[in-house]
Structures are given as C-alpha cells and as structure tokens.
Amino acid sequence: MVDAAVRTSQKTEGTSPRIDVKRVEDLLLGTWADTRRTAREMIKDSAFWRDDSLGKDDHRERVLSQLHLLVQNKAVHRAFPKRFGGEENNGANISGFEELVAADPSLQIKAGVQWGLFGSAVLQLGTQEHHDKWLPGIMDLSITGAFAMTEIGHGSDVAAVGTTATFDAETDEFIINTPFRGATKEYLGNAALHGIAATVFAQLITNGVNHGVHCFYVPLRGEDGNDLPGIGREDDGLKGGLNGIDNGRLSFDHVRVPRTNLLNKYGDVDENGVYTSSIDSPGRRFFTMLGTLVQGRVSLDGAASWGSALGLYIAITYATQRRQFDGADGQEVVLLDYGKHQRRLLPRLATTYAQIFAHDEFLQKFDGVFSGRTDTPDDREDLETLAAALKPLSTWHALDTLQEAREACGGAGFMFENRLVGLRQDLDIYVTFEGDNNVLLQLVGKRLLTDFAKQFKDKDAAALAKYAVGQTAGKVFHGAGLRRFGQNIADFGSTARSVENGLRAEQQHELLADRVQQMVADIAGRLRPAGKDKVLGEKLFNENQADLIEAARAHGELLQWEAFTDAVNSIPDEDTRQVLTWLRDLFGLQLIEKHLAWHIINGRLSTQRAAAVSSYIDRLCLRLRPHALDLVNAFGYEPEHVRAPIASGIEQQRQDEARAYYADLEASGEAPVSEKALKKAAKK
C-alpha cells in the first residue's frame, strides 16, 4: 500500500523509476561479493549470534568457541600461504571478516586479534622459519595470541613505546622488559585469559644502540597452562562494549626469549649482536613495519560501514511501518513520510552507500599491495593515506548513524533485542582502534601538505608569485558570484530546481575538490614563515592543527563522493542509475550544506544559491522516499542477519490489526462518537 505522502511525491516528480535491487546488491557487495555471501550464509547459524543474556565471562567463552567454529568452516585461512592450506587472497579475507559484524562485533574483533593482528604480525614481519614454526598453530587456534603494541602511556605514538628488548650476547637471547608502569601493554584482546603467546613491540637495543621498535614473538604460558616467570597479566574487566573479548594488560619482568624470536624480515641481529637491515633509514624502516599491519584499519572501515547499513536497515524498515499522528486524510501517518524523519535517515543512507563504494576501491588497493601486484613504496604510502582518511569517517559515521537510528525508533530502538544500542556500544571503540581518528587525519593532512609542497619544489620566485596571483584572482573570481554557475542570473521558478540545474555532478565535484585544495593552500601559506625554525614551526603547526584535520576530513569525503560517482556511472540500467544519482546528489549536497559557511565566506557560493541548497536536499529526500525500502533491501541482509523484531514485519502486523479493528468498529455502527465531533455538530 502506497501512503498519501508517497503518492504526492510520485505525482510531483512524475512516474517514479524503480531500482534493480539485485543489481545494486551486487554493486554494494563489491569485488569479493561471493566471499561476502559465503560468510553471510555461514553466520545464519545461530551458533555465531550474540547472546544478549550472557554475562561477561560466559560471553567471552562463547566467542572463543565461535573462533573454533570459524576454523572448522575454513573461514580464517584466506590470507595465509597456500602451503599451509591458505588462499593468499587478502581482499577476500578482509571481506569475509567484515561480515562477522552482523553476527557479533566481539566475534569480529577477537577473530581480528587472532588472525588479523597476532597472526598477521608473524606472517608479515617474520620469515619462513617463523612461518613454519607458528603459523599452523595460529591458523588452527592451538596457539592463541595477543598483539602487544599499545601501551598505557603511548597509544598512537608507537615509536615512543617504553618496552625494551635488549640483546644478551652471552646467552643469545633478548631480554623483554617493562621498565615503568606507562610501558605496560594495555587493552589487548586475548591478553586477560586466552592468549598463550604475544607479538610484542619493543625498542630493540644491542651493543648499546637503540635501533627502534621491532616485533618479537613472546610465549606467555607454559605447557602446564600457567604463566611463565616474569609475565604479568591483568584483566581489564567490563568495558563500554565488546565484552565478549578478554581484553587485558601485559607486563614483562626481564623475560628472556631466543634471539630467533625476533620477527626479522626488516631487521636482524646476529649472534654477536650486530644489527642489519635491508632498509637503511630508521624512520622508513619503522613505517614499513607498521604499514604491513594496515589491514586492521582497512577492516574497521568496512565493518563500520556495514554496521551503519545494518542500523539503517532496521530503522528505515521500522519507519515505513510505524504510524504516528493523523494526517489530512484521517489516517495515521507512516514515520518515513514526515520530512524530518526523511532528513534524519536518508542523508545517512546516502553517506553509507558512499562509504561502502569507497571501501571496495580501498580494498582493491589493499589487495594489490599485499598480493605484490602493485607493491611499491608509493603504493604502500597511498594505501596508508587511504586507510588514515577513510577509517575515521566511517567509524564516526557509524556512531552517529546508530545513535540517530536508535532515536528514530523511539522506545523500541532502546530495547536491546532490536540491536541498535548493542551495535552502538560495540562500535564505539572503533573510533580509537588502530589509531585515534584525529591522529590518523593529521597523518593525512601532513601528506596533503607534502604533496602540495612538491608542486613548488625547485620553482623560482617568479613561479611562486604567479601562483599567489592566481590564488588571489581565483578568490576575486569566486567572490564575483561563481559566474560559471550563473548564480547572479535571476532564477525563474523553483529555487530548488535552479540548484538542481546548477549543482549537478561536475559542480559538486568542483566545490568539494576546491575546498580541499584551498584549505591546504591556506594552511601551507600560514606555515611557510617558519622556514627551518623548528620552534616557530611547531607553534604554527599547533595553531593550524584543527584546520589541517578538517582539510584531511574534506579530502576523505571527496574520495567517497568520487567512489560513489564511479559506481553510479557503472550502472547500465537507466532507472537504477537515476535513483542512485539522486542518492549521490544527496550525499554531495549534504556535504556542501554542512560547510555552507566556508563556501560563502570563500566566495564559492552566493548567499542566494547557498540558501536554496537545504530546500533542494529536502526535495531529494522526498524524491527518494518511495525507494527507501529498496535501497536498504539492496544491502542484502536476511532475517538471520538482522534479528531485530521491529524490522521483522511485526510492526506492520500490529498496524494492520489496529486499522482493521477501527474499520470493523466503524462499519458495525457501534463506534463511539468523539466529543470533538459532537461539539462541532452542535455549532452548526
């Protein structure tokens, strides 16, 4: 049944096209769609589902048992070498792993700790000797491990960790030590209970020289099941989410491990304590080692995007069934027919689409680098920058979306059985997992500044002066009202239609790209006076840090818009392409709306055109309203994945029952007359 507001929308916009849901689902599932479908089929089994009735301890044991089920289903082997039964398919590995978020985020993250961090450290930083010795046990879960990088005193600043690994030539061993409380390894999955080993990041010291952070394989527990001498282990206890994971802290009191336990792909020490490395620069060596572990950020970007998709599926399905307040036709109105409700959910739906499309391109880049097909220093640097740009946006968006979805479902959204509060709790930590989001965006900002500076390398004063004039001319031109958009020409008819005609794909891209370029140029100009003065440079950088992070965020949003546009352009079906174009426009215009002040101040939009952007967004929401269910159904989730009663059709049954009751009562002639109707009749 089509509600009145939907009929009005269709009448206003003409015959409404319909999307090919299956085609859009294929597009969203991306390059490794088959792997995603295999993973989704596996987690239909209720043995993988989060059990909300369990306390912390039982939840932890359930998740451990689920890891064993993953092994039995051969769901953990995809990234590992073929000689160990793996597939060496990195893109498929991440794709399948991300899908576990719909089963239980604790399962997803604990699997990530075991195989994506602990196992990957051995695989990526170790050599064949280490692979032969430990990978089979890591893969079959006979060796459960922790990834001991983060310290309570140094979170994102890995280069400054306090843990030391000092070589003792007399015994041919490294001595792993925690010299002070701030060097305690903290928040580690598998550390409180289940881990029997850890990959420990520590400062490698030999012959009195510190060669920087390296990774060591350190046993934690002996054959008898007890912790080895010198191992300190504590339980982090209850957390704000992900309580199916046994997070804990580790410390080391002069723990000795064989010299060969150094994972020595990028740096080695011989029996005399002589250090060698294929990478001469300590800084480049450090970033190369960390870069091999970028898949954590890749997977968090995807898992957060699909977590948002799941929340929107629940909220939008419910909003198309739940009714509230009488409309003009005397019938209660479906929630999603209200303009405000559309504004709450549909722009977030558009953003989620953008993120999923961007993630697939990101994942292709990751697979190319890790497979060796496109593994160059530049490719790795690009991959690191992509990870640092996209992971913050998707994880922040997930928290915002799940909170808004919860509120949009009212009291029903607050019930744990409807998934939204649990997902919101579990995904909270994603914004600081694998690097705090603001720190990551700062890395992106620095890369943007570096790339900007490269444009002027070896340029003379005349070239720089010419650029400065161009910048000034550009600002004057934009300040004249963007003549290229015809903003100062009188608009005829609807101002919203004039925006539609003036801010289509090419102009959206220009506004989004120009904002990034101008922000970076402005920041670079403000930093230039420092020259080689490090003290002044630090002061100026600190003063511009917030702007730099905002520029990096704008860069990430531009990447998402471009990925969305690439996806739209790949669709052969005209109706589907039309609807996704509207959705892409909604994504682009809400980004422009979010930064309207910047666009006006910097002369990119006239005040008249800027004022009309919001009304056109409302128009787009109304235009997309008839397609909302199709767009969330295209996520491909089945009832076993959703498991939220309010999205199961039960609300539609309740509403139909209520409407049938009142219809029958009215037909019986026994319906009571309202006091308001009596008073109205008396006045006549």
Residues labelled catalytic:
434
Of residues 123, 162, 161, the one with CA closest to residue 143: 123
Indicate if the alpha-carbon torsion angle 136, 140, 142, 146 is positive or negative: positive
Rounded distance between C-alpha atoms, residue 279 and residue 288, angstroms: 9
In sequence order, what are the residues at sequence separation of 6 or more whose Cβ sits closer than 8 angstroms to the Cβ of residue 579? 17, 18, 19, 624, 627, 630, 631
In sequence order, what are the residues at sequence separation of 6 or more whose Cβ sits closer than 8 angstroms to the Cβ of residue 132? none
Measured CA to CA in angstroms, residue 361 lies from 37, 147, 290, 508, 653 at distances of 19, 28, 22, 21, 41
**Beta strand 323-326 pairing with 185-188:** unpaired
Indicate if the alpha-carbon torsion angle 56, 58, 63, 68 is positive or negative: positive
Q: Are 134 and 196 in contact (CB under 8 A)?
A: no
Q: Are 127 and 264 in contact (CB under 8 A)?
A: yes
Structure tokens at 541: 């950088």
Structure tokens at 324: 């509230």
Strands, DSSP E only, in 409-562? none
Q: Are 366 and 90 in contact (CB under 8 A)?
A: yes
DSSP secondary structure, 571-639, as one string = ---HHHHHHHHHHHHHHHHHHHHHTHHHHHHTTSS-HHHHHHHHHHHHHHHHHHGGGHHHHHHTT---H
Of residues 304, 333, 331, 305, the one with CA closest to residue 319: 333
Torsion of Cα atoms, 289 then 290 then 295 then 299, to 10°: 170
Find tokens 């527990």 and name the residue: 221
Rounded distance between C-alpha atoms, residue 630 and residue 19, angstroms: 7
Rounded distance between C-alpha atoms, residue 288 and residue 205, angstroms: 19
Q: Strand 231-235: give its sheet, edge to edge.
A: 185-188, 248-252, 231-235
b/e map 245-264, b = 16+ CB within 10 Å: bbbbbbbbeebbbebbbbbb
Rounded distance between C-alpha atoms, residue 200 and residue 184, angstroms: 11
Of residues 106, 49, 52, the one with CA closest to residue 246: 106
Q: Terminal CA-to-CA distance of the chain, rounded, Å?
A: 36
Of residues 298, 294, 260, the one with CA closest to residue 174: 260
Question: Largest Cα–Cα distance in the chain?
Answer: 108
3-state secondary structure of 670: coil
Measured CA to CA in angstroms, residue 144 lies from 113, 137, 147 at distances of 9, 8, 10
**Beta strand 197-206 pairing with 145-148:** parallel
Rounded distance between C-alpha atoms, residue 226 and residue 221, angstroms: 5
